[in-house]
Copies of this chain bind each other. A is one copy, B any other.
Amino acid sequence: MVERHEPTSREKILEVAEALFARSGFAGVGLRELADRSGLGKSSLFHHFRSKGHLYLEVLRTVLERIQERLAPVIRSQSGPAEKLPAWVEALIDALAEHPNSARLLLRALFEDDDFPEDLEPQAQEVEGIVMSILGTYQAIVQQGIDLEIFQPVSVTDATQTMIGATVYHFASGEIGEAVTGGPIFAAAAIQRRRREVVHFLIGGLTADPTH
């Protein structure tokens, strides 16, 4: 059972900030809009967060940790790569689908080389560390599958980049993604289909004979 409670101001700010940063990126968000939508004055934000940068990195960390939690049981499981890889990908997709802001924020964390002031280098490196740690668990599964000759000897790093693109981009793709797919991205049926298709593609790529 989930405990219900009125969100604290801090929680409310983080919730609103997550949506705004996902939509517009770090530079595209003004603290005025954030304050208004949080039901607070602009200055009150600084009681909860030292700066806009600190807030942004805290939002990123929260999103990444949510994803990590989803993946943890899969990583802990003792099954072989043939079962573990689909389970990993499906868990990631579920995590991205559960919270529509996650994919966009994750995508921004992945491809935007933000240059933060040095007083929050520690937070920035923590975020990058979580990203690399998550990706490391995927690479380990692919590598294990290759070692066991269950998968073809593909480039592990390219397989990882392809997996990121296939999962994260799709759920970040917004209006254009919906124009391409011809329907909502976050509807339950669409998520189900995407899970099937991505797993099919990735397994197909990992197992197809290179001499087609």
List residues of chain A with CB under 8 Å of any chain B CB. Answer: 23-28, 104, 107, 109-113, 128, 131-132, 135, 139, 154-155, 157-162, 164-170, 172-177, 179-182, 193-194, 197-198, 200-208, 210, 212
Contact = CB atoms under 8 A, between A and B. Distances in A.
A132 to B, nearest CB: 6
A2 B33 CA distance: 49
A208 B198 contact: no
Identical subunits present? 2
B205 A202 contact: yes
Contacts of A175: 113
A157 B197 CA distance: 10
Nearest to A198: B162
A167 B201 CA distance: 14
B212 A208 contact: no
Q: Which of A131, A161, A176, A182 has the most CB of B within 10 A?
A: A161
Nearest to A212: B203
Contact of A28 (B26, B157, B170, B203): B26
Contact of A173 (B26, B161, B170, B181): B161
Nearest to A107: B111
A206 B204 CA distance: 8
Please list the 9 inter-chain residue pairs (A to B) with the smallest Cβ-Cβ separation, ordered nearest first.
A165-B165, A204-B208, A201-B205, A165-B169, A27-B28, A158-B197, A204-B205, A204-B204, A157-B181
